[in-house]
Amino acid sequence: MKTPNRLYRSLYGEAQDKESNNRRITDLYSRYRSIFRSECTSLFSAAGRTELGGNHTDHNNGKVLAGAINLDTLAAVALRNDSTVCIDSEGYGEFTVDLSDLSIREDERNTSASIIRGIAASFALRGLRTGGFNAALTSTVMPGSGLSSSASIEVLIAEIFNSLFNDDLLDPIQLAIIGKEAENRYFGKPCGLLDQMACAYGGIIGMDFSSEIPDITPIDIRFEDHGLNLVIVNTRGSHADLTDEYASIPREMKEVAAFFGKSVLREVEHDRFMASIRELRKRLGNDRAILRAMHFFDENLRVEGMIDALKQRDMEMYLALVADSGSSSFRFLQNVYPSSSPTFQSLSLALALSEEILSGEGACRVHGGGFAGTIQAYVPIDMLPEYIRGMEAVFGEGSSTVLSIRKKRVIRLI
């Protein structure tokens, strides 16, 4: 099988390396043949994602700006004649799931098998078909990089069921919701919908989570056309033992909402919140929760401003809002370093170095969940070599990745 060349640009950007992409796909086909002793019949692709604005707002029904990226998960697939899904994920080995049992299994919590079973269960609950298949997976979405490797796989598996068994009945929003359901109910992680939506939909999108089905605002823009490269710097900090740090953010925001008799901050009026800060301090005894709520309200407004700036091609305003978002995450949301280990500040260091190198040009901010992992920088194209040299001198070779926005949704390529 050959991948149509016309798809490469929409998947991997203007600077895509056709030869490298062909080699990657050829290697995947060869690995499929060696594992399953047969030929694959289909090729699927799902992007990773980058959060552009709306840091930690989705779990309280806020607003987010995000984009699908040119790093993806590929799956070479062929149908089976039974109800078994057999997946070999490069670097992680092989596992199987028998879809004749779609019940939640406690022994599968926090495993890839739980995601497969959970996605199949969501299809079944909707009266949709599922069935067995073999798949070999490979991914350029680096785990632990804040680019949502897990969500990429979730929407990929959902699209395989959607395409092979249901004639592409479901749209990207429905596929994203199914991925989130599997992660919440079967895997056991109380995530929001941001990651799955951005991976499934394609392009840059504004998302408003005030209702069960998010309101989507697509934005067609290339940062390269405005002299900027979007760069992710992986500081290679460990996410181990940070579960409580991540969980504290939605928990504390919802504690503030509960003071007003609401379940999430989106349901609270900003003016009423501001007028109640004195009483909140007495009741909660937690100034950080109040600061995090302030971040939520202001970040929602910033996302609106970022969307308007991109629509108007006003990059000066957009970059100013990017910087404001990063500052708010640092000061109010407080997810740039873990409070449990205040001497571990790789993200703080990466931001400081970025500001030193960029010298007032571009912008930078914490990326994704925070505490460890990655920062995001908008780097003028003529400064890119200097920026990468400076960051990799500290965080190691390969720590900086230049991203492009991918226009294509999660898709069956062949």
Q: Mean per-residue pLDDT for 340-369?
A: 95
DSSP 8-state assignment for residue 192: -
| Nearest of 145, 148, 84, 81 to residue 116 by alpha carbon | 84
Give every CB contact of residue 9 below 8 A, 6+ residues apart in sequence: 16
Of residues 7 and 401, which shows the higher confidence score? 401
User: Quick check: 345 pLDDT over 60?
Assistant: yes
Length of the chain: 414
State the chain's mean pLDDT as an integer.
93
Tokens representing 103?
Answer: 């019940």
Residues 6+ apart with CB under 8 A from 247: none
CATH architecture of 5-220+406-412: 2-Layer Sandwich (3.30)
162/173 Cα distance (integer angstroms): 13
Model confidence at 148, in pLDDT bands (50, 70, 90)? confident
pLDDT digits (tens, 9 = 90+) for 190-230: 777 889 999 999 999 999 999 988 999 999 999 999 999 99
pLDDT given for residue 93 in this prediction: 87
What residues have CB less than 8 Å from 275, skipping those under 6 apart?
none
> Which pTM does this prediction carry?
0.92
Mean pLDDT along residues 135-161: 90
Confidence (pLDDT) at 23: 87
Q: How confident is the model at residue 47 (pLDDT cuts 50, 70, 90)?
A: very high
| pLDDT bracket for residue 16 (50, 70, 90) | low
| Percent of the chain with pLDDT strictly greater than 70 | 95
Predicted confidence at residue 6, as pLDDT, reads 61
Q: What pLDDT shows up at residue 219?
A: 97
Q: For residue 5, what pLDDT band results from cuts at 50, 70 and 90?
A: low
pLDDT reported for residue 190: 74
Amino acid letter, 336: V
Tens-digit pLDDT profile for residues 69-122: 999 999 999 999 999 999 999 988 899 999 999 999 999 998 999 999 999 999
Indicate if the pLDDT at residue 15 is higher than 60. no
pLDDT single digits (tens) 163-191: 999 999 999 999 999 999 999 999 988 77
pLDDT, tens only, 306-330? 999 999 999 999 999 999 999 999 9
DSSP assignment of 340-365, as one string?
A: T-TT--HHHHHHHHHHHHHTTSSEEE
pLDDT at 8: 66
How far CA 332 is from CA of 245, 290, 295, 329, 335, in Å, comes to: 14, 9, 6, 6, 9
How deeply is 55 buried, as exposed, middle or buried, from its count of CB atoms within 10 A (0-12, 13-18, 19+)? buried
Q: How confident is the model at residue 12 (pLDDT cuts 50, 70, 90)?
A: confident
Over residues 129-139, the mean pLDDT reads: 97
Using alpha carbons only, what angle is made at residue 50 by residues 334 and 169, rounded to the nearest 5 degrees?
125
Q: Name the one residue in this structure whose structure tokens are 């609401």.
A: 262
DSSP conformation letters of 245-284: HHHHHHHHHHHHHHHTT-SSGGGS-HHHHHHTHHHHHHHH
Helix, strand, or coil (residue 382): helix
Residue 1 in this model has a pLDDT that exceeds 70: no
Tell me what pLDDT residue 250 has: 93
Predicted pLDDT of residue 246 = 86
